[in-house]
Amino acid sequence: MNRGSSALSVCVALIGAASFVVLLSQNVCAAELSRRWQGLYSYPDASNRAPVAFELNVTSVRGDSFNGRTTEPATFGDQPCSHLYANVSGQVTGDKIEFTKTYDGTCGQSHSVFYRGTLSGGFRRMEGTWSISNNWGGRFTAEAK
């Protein structure tokens, strides 16, 4: 069996024949995102703020859409706490990925951050940019673990 049909079989087994997306440019499906990711986001150079490590757990995939949750150290906010948590909702189109991270209120944070990037390495790496209300943003990378 060739790699393309093998990837299709895995996709169908993971998310059902009724709703699947085969991403032909990578010969894999969006279900490949269902894993733990270790990432780093950085601020604009002029901000003089250190990059922040985060973990993204993709918990569900339906077609080309996915949901998950992030955890990161609390590096901003007025209330003392050790970590910030956010819900993630996104979509994959070919090798492009877009998702919105919305903080869940921990430490008083409930704003959303928009991420846009590219998947590579057989869906094991993502990189791109993040922005808040298109007024401020930086870069991010993440590796599948």
Q: Which of 16-20, 52-56, 95-99 has the lowest mean pLDDT?
A: 16-20
Can you tell me the distance from the alpha carbon of 57 to that of 47, in angstroms, rounded to the nearest whole number? 28
According to CATH, the topology of domain 31-144 is Lipocalin (2.40.128)
Whole-Å CA distances, 136 to 45, 115, 132: 11, 12, 6
Whole-Å CA distances, 55 to 36, 50, 65: 7, 17, 19
Q: Provide the pLDDT for residue 60.
A: 92
To the nearest 10°, report the CA torsion of 49, 91, 14, 71: 20
- Region 33-53: mean pLDDT is 91
Amino acid residing at 50: A
pLDDT one-digit tens code per residue, 82-128: 999 999 999 999 999 999 999 999 999 999 999 999 999 989 999 99
Whole-Å CA distances, 38 to 41, 69, 126: 10, 12, 10
Query: Please, what sign has the CA dihedral across residues 129, 108, 52, 46?
Result: positive
Q: What percent of the chain has pLDDT over 70?
A: 79
Can you tell me the distance from the alpha carbon of 127 to that of 138, in angstroms, rounded to the nearest whole number? 11
**What is the average pLDDT value for the chain, to the nearest integer?**
82
User: Over 90: is that where the pLDDT of 13 sits?
Assistant: no
Q: How confident is the model at residue 33 (pLDDT cuts 50, 70, 90)?
A: confident
Token output for 72: 């990161």
Token output for 28: 């894999």
- CA triple 19-20-23, angle to 5 deg: 155
What's the whole-model pTM score? 0.79
CB atoms within 10 A of CB 96: 15
